Amino acid sequence: MVQSVLLVITAIMTIFYMVLIGYYLRSWILVPVQVNEANYKPSTFISIIIPARNEEKNIQDCLDSILRQSYPEQLMEVFVVDDYSTDKTAQLVLKYTDARIKLISLKTFMKDEKIFAYKKKSIEIAIGLSSGELILTTDADCKASSDWLITLERFYKKNNPAIIAMPVKIKSSTNFLSAFESLDFITMQGITGAAVSKKQLNLCNGANLAYTKKAFEAVSGFKGIDEIASGDDMLLMEKISSQPGGISYLKSKAVIIETNPTSSWKQFIQQRQRWASKSTAYKDIKLKSILAFIYVFNLCVLITGFSFFIFNQSLHIDNFIISPFIIFIILLGLKIFIEFIFLFTITKFFKQRSILWWFPLAAILHMLYILVAGFLGMTKTYKWKGRIVK
């Protein structure tokens, strides 16, 4: 009886899950890909902000990619905010003689003031010093293509949104951790593009996020969310989404930001725990409902699977005897099938179809990962870049 109830619940949730992912897949496909115009002349001053903590291995590649932009030099500036680094991050930034690059020390500005959200404070200080009409944030371990800024500016001038989410991908590698992380990340990126383009959910990633300085100031920046360590992206988008112009998603290969994978499973879980820790602060009921559904659905699938180690029953329908295990395998197969179709489509855009070889193993492990990361995200305490965060 217990197993039958579990199967019915799982079946209903599987159908809803397939409809949901199918909706996101169709929405992603319908998002128009932006193409640059020849001889386009941009006119918007852009301020790029890069919070950096102990990034001596990455900061030069990041800055070099920005300095290679096809964007007019007189229309851009770059703020690197050194977040109490204990390595050579600041020294490496100071080696750049380009006037567009400006180094800020968070320690100098904060002195003895207590900080809850270091990254938000870094961005806030840089915005206060910036001259740009458009603010663009990225991370110190990211690299951009040469047409990143000009593609963004053209989209901004054409659509005039208050905040723009853009795609991010994890650099491909040959090991399973990298593939698993990339597949998980691509799934989130696909849903982000689909949901934001439909203006259904406030989703984005601070590694590639643009918003107007006017909108940031209109909502008083991070005020009200500045005691939450994470959320410099999605919680801010939630605030800005009500501003004139609203939210938009820029779908273009020219604006894809590439970031490095984590170096260990421990670091990966800590990163995802950091992301999950802000979920209780969301005010968007639709987003919270979908996150809760996905969590409960995966929990239900795992519990139903484990139930076969406890119960050994058959379902009797008229003269037929049906194995519950076969029904479960069919439901699990449907779940994995729709996920594969979704990833097969999204990985083409990001040019990462080669990692789909890892998908069968990743799909099974991903259910357990969602439960672990979601649970740890509710603990509110984690370690990130040598800092204990609460």
Three-class DSSP labels, 32-67: CCCCCCCCCCCCCCEEEEEEECCCCCCHHHHHHHHH
242 and 309 housed in the same domain: no
Residue 159 lies in a domain: yes
| Domains of the chain: total | 2
Q: Are strands 134-137 and 209-212 parallel, antiparallel or unpaired?
A: antiparallel
Mean pLDDT of the chain: 89
Indicate if 299 and 232 belong to the same structural domain.
no
Compute φ and ψ for 49, nearest 5 degrees. -120, 125
My answer on whether 246 and 164 are in the same domain is yes
Per-residue model confidence as pLDDT tens digits over 14-59: 999 999 999 999 999 999 999 888 889 999 999 999 999 999 999 9
Out of 263, 298, 327, a domain closes at 263
Q: What pLDDT is recorded for position 172?
A: 79
Verdict on whether the full-model pTM lies above 0.85:
yes
CA distances from 96 to 80, 126, 143, 357 (A): 12, 18, 17, 42
In a domain, 270, yes or no: no
Instruction: Report the pLDDT averaged over residues 265-279.
Output: 80
Query: The domain that contains 202 carries what CATH number?
Result: 3.90.550.10
For residue 286, give Cα distances in angstroms to 41, 276, 380. 40, 16, 22
Same domain, 14 and 49: no
Residue 279 lies in a domain: no
What average pLDDT does the segment 183-200 reach? 94
Percent share of the chain, pLDDT over 90: 67
Statement to judge: residues 200 and 311 lie in one domain: no
Helix orientation angle between 324-350 and 176-197, rounded to the nearest 10 degrees: 80
My answer on whether 103 and 217 are in the same domain is yes
Residue 365 and residue 220 share a domain: no
Are residues 123 and 242 both part of a single domain? yes
Q: Which amino acid is at 330?
A: I
Torsion sign over Cα 194, 198, 200, 202 = positive
pLDDT of 310 reads 63
**Residue 32 domain-assigned?**
no
Same domain, 234 and 102: yes
The predicted-structure confidence for 290-324, as pLDDT tens digits, reads as follows 989 999 999 988 888 777 666 655 555 555 555 66
Residue 143 lies in a domain: yes
For residue 360, how many other CB atoms are within 10 A of its CB?
A: 10
Dihedral, 87, 91, 95, 96 alpha carbons, nearest 10: 80
Where does a domain end: 229, 263, 297? 263
In whole angstroms, what is the distance from residue 122 CA to residue 165 CA? Answer: 20
In a domain, 278, yes or no: no
Domain extent at residue 254: 41-263
- Asked whether residue 124 carries a pLDDT value surpassing 60, the answer given is yes
**What pLDDT is attached to residue 78?**
98
Q: Indicate whether 80 and 121 sit together in one domain.
A: yes
- Which of 33-47, 104-118, 207-221, 247-261 comes out lowest in average pLDDT? 104-118
Answer yes or no: do 54 and 129 share one domain. Answer: yes
Do 240 and 290 share a domain, yes or no?
Answer: no
Strand partners, 51: 81
With respect to residue 93, please indicate whether it lies within any of the assigned structural domains.
yes
Confidence of residue 330 (pLDDT cuts 50, 70, 90): confident
Inside any domain, residue 68 = yes
